[in-house]
Amino acid sequence: MTRLGETPPLHPAFSLFPVVNGTLSVGGMSLSALSDRAGGTPFYVYDRAKMTERVKLLRRHFPSEIKLHYAVKANPMPDVVAHLAKWVDGADVASGGELTVAKNAGFSAAETSFAGPGKRPEELAQAVEWGALVNVESVREVDILTRLAEELGRSPRVAVRVNPDFGLKHSGVKMGGGPQPFGVDVEQVPLLLAEIGRRRLTFEGFHIFSGSQNLQSAAIVESQNLTLELAIRLSAWAPGPVRVLNIGGGFGIPYFPGDQPLDLAPIGENLRRWMTPLRAALPEAQITGEMGRYLVGEAGVYVCRILDRKVSRGKTFLVVDGGMHHHLAASGHFGQVIRKNFPVAIGNRMGEPATETVSIVGPLCTPMDLLADCIDLPLAQVGDFVVVFQSGAYGFTASPHRFLSHPPPSEILV
């Protein structure tokens, strides 16, 4: 714990963006310039160069044969998706709405896949008409796709999303292993594959995604090994060659004090070792990794302004014009078990020593509307900027923005 008067140890996020005359700058623009561009606070700003850097970083570590997809749900802002469409190989979408976003952003049907535990018939039709790959997650979906094949005179492209018999250890979010609404349990996959073989469907391969927000490369390596072994085993039941093998992602970013950035080197080395055995076992398979948070999370900053300073029985509150209705994750209510502060700063007082302990709250009449609890910050005034780092993923669209009828934040890409 830093004592007042000391400069706190900086979260790695603090060095992501330059500081000019004590003020944070994103994409070469100061906070006031950004605020003008956004039409005032609160707003999200996303730095396109940071996203590009992340894609390049992954490509430096991964074998060149591996394709990289963007999981649109992490940040579906159209400009962000259009930017990534220029840099990654494909998109993974989780709804008909996201499918439209990916299409409009310039992704092709051939490089878009659609996963999700509850796909409506209209959404499946939308995917089939466009020609996207459907990652099927139940027999019902196979039935609907078979009907659509007849109606539309098409042969829908399908991959089987597998719920493996293992999870991704040490993950912030577990999405595979044990009972899951996602995918088809591995035990049931051989029967489903046989069924797919009897239908007018084009079998493409497998999708195996076991977890998210992981910072431990050893856990990711282990889960990738299990995933690749599983895919090879399942291919024995496949009605055709495996052409697509989506091995998921799960790459996390450091949010909280003590979190260390993910070390990509061991993951890249392990994947490199796999390329030869994979070519032997699944010669036609295109291996794909899908990333959401890792590509966009660090590129985004949420910016709001201090509306009021209040002291209540010795506790100081900074009341800001944004809050949990825009940024649920920073309030601690997006899947966190224990509430911890996101990296937060007074954006126009960067580098000033911390001189007081404050809590930063939003305008909502609920104690849940808390952006930072008891943090040490420089003495801040009404009108100062509060910035929340690591806000490029699962921000605005993962928040209850209609709650209390405040206006939504703007989002800008710089």
Ligand X SMILES: *Cc1c(COP(=O)(O)O)cnc(C)c1O
Whose CA is closest to 412, among 151, 71, 46, 72?
A: 46
Interface with ligand X includes 254 (CB under 6 A)?
A: no
Q: Are 370 and 298 in contact (CB under 8 A)?
A: no
Q: How far is the CB of 408 from ligand X (least distance, A)?
A: 22
Token representation of residue 96: 């008909």
- Closer CB to ligand X, 171 or 235, in the complex: 171
Within 49-108, which residues bind ligand X (CB under 6 A)?
71, 73-74, 92, 94
Q: Collapsing DSSP states into helix, strand and coil, what is residue 279?
A: helix
Interface segment toward ligand X; rule CB under 6 A; list 52-60, 290-298, 301-309, 316-324? 290-298
**Which member of 294, 302, 342, 396 binds ligand X (CB under 6 A)?**
294
Amino acid found at 414: V
- Closer CB to ligand X, 249 or 378, in the complex: 249
Q: Are 67 and 287 in contact (CB under 8 A)?
A: yes
- Closer CB to ligand X, 248 or 332, in the complex: 248
Within 109-128, which residues bind ligand X (CB under 6 A)?
115
Residue 351 falls in which region: left (phi positive, over 0), alpha (psi -120 to 50) or beta:
left
- Rounded Cα distance between 261 and 216, Å, is 9
Q: Are strands 23-26 and 19-20 parallel, antiparallel or unpaired?
A: antiparallel
Q: How far is the CB of 23 from ligand X (least distance, A)?
A: 30
Interface segment toward ligand X; rule CB under 6 A; list 231-239, 268-276, 289-297, 314-322? 289-297
Q: How far is the CB of 300 from ligand X (least distance, A)?
A: 13
Interface with ligand X includes 290 (CB under 6 A)?
A: yes
Residue the block writes with tokens 């399942």: 234
Q: Which whole-number Å values give the CA distances from 291 to 43, 317, 363, in the listed order?
A: 24, 37, 33
Q: H/E element holding 221?
A: helix 217-234
Query: What are the two backbone dihedrals, phi and then psi, of residue 402, each rounded to the nearest 5 degrees?
Result: -85, -15
x-marked contacts with ligand X along 188-227 as a string, rule CB under 6 A: ---------------------x--xx--------------
Q: How far is the CB of 79 from ligand X (least distance, A)?
A: 18
Q: How far is the CB of 210 from ligand X (least distance, A)?
A: 10
- Contact residues for ligand X (CB under 6 A)? 71, 73-74, 92, 94, 115, 209, 212-213, 248-249, 290-294, 393
